[in-house]
């Protein structure tokens, strides 16, 4: 079946964007998420990742001590991914999570109010400025939240929970839409 071309089925394919003047909730393209795990004791990994990951096209999100996500809007071809993994070694290991995690964007002046219905993280810009990330529970679901703009957040969630989280976020946004 070499002629068969497998088709991608995005986890949130059936979800309609939720949008109003105060808030917008939208699935982000299922591009690339590489989970980087540094060798214990490695220093300056962020600048190392920046040099590898074409800063203009990729973003580096802190996950936990010694761990980051490199995210990109476009899927990374298999060969390129392997090259990236090779370039990371031996300082770090790369693990493909492009399908294991789904990204959701929530933005607008009421975005942080809506998110506060789920997360205990203080989302005030003074405590959670642009570029800051946190791993947190949103309701019952673990997620990775990054402030990507003054009024915009990116949420990275396990694929299996993506639909449930979307439904929860839509409910949290209801009063603002």
Which region among 21-29, 44-52, 113-121, 147-155 touches another protein (by CB under 8 A)? 113-121
Among 6, 43, 56, 86, binds another protein (CB under 8 A): 6
Distance CA 64, CA 57 (A): 22
Nearest to 104 by CA among 36, 172, 35: 172
Among 125, 129, 150, 160, binds another protein (CB under 8 A): 160
Kindly give the interhelix angle for 45-52 and 78-88, rounded to the nearest 10 degrees: 150
**Please, which residue, 10 or 62, has the CB nearer to another protein?**
10
Distance CA 126, CA 24 (A): 22
CB of 82 to another protein, least distance (A): 9
109 binds another protein (CB under 8 A): no
Distance CA 60, CA 84 (A): 14
The binding site for another protein (CB under 8 A) comprises 1-11, 30, 35, 37-40, 78, 90, 93, 95-101, 113, 116-117, 119-122, 124, 126-127, 139-141, 158-161, 163-165, 167-168, 171-172, 174-175, 177
């Amino acid at each position: 079946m070499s002629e068969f071309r497998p088709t991608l089925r995005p986890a949130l394919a059936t979800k309609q964007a939720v949008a109003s003047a105060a808030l917008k909730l939208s699935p982000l393209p299922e591009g690339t998420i590489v989970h980087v795990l540094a060798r214990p004791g490695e220093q300056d990994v962020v600048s190392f990742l920046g040099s590898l990951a074409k800063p203009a096209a990729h973003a580096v999100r802190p996950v936990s001590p010694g761990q980051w996500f490199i995210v990109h809007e476009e899927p990374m071809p298999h060969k390129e991914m392997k090259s990236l993994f090779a370039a990371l070694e031996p300082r770090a290991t790369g693990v493909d999570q492009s399908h294991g995690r789904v990204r959701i964007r929530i933005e607008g002046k009421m975005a942080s109010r809506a998110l506060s219905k789920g997360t205990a993280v203080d989302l005030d810009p003074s405590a959670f400025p642009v570029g800051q990330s946190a791993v947190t529970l949103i309701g019952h679901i673990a997620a990775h939240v990054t402030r990507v703009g003054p009024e915009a957040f990116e949420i990275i969630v396990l694929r299996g929970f993506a639909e449930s989280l979307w439904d929860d976020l839509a409910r949290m946004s209801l009063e603002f839409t």
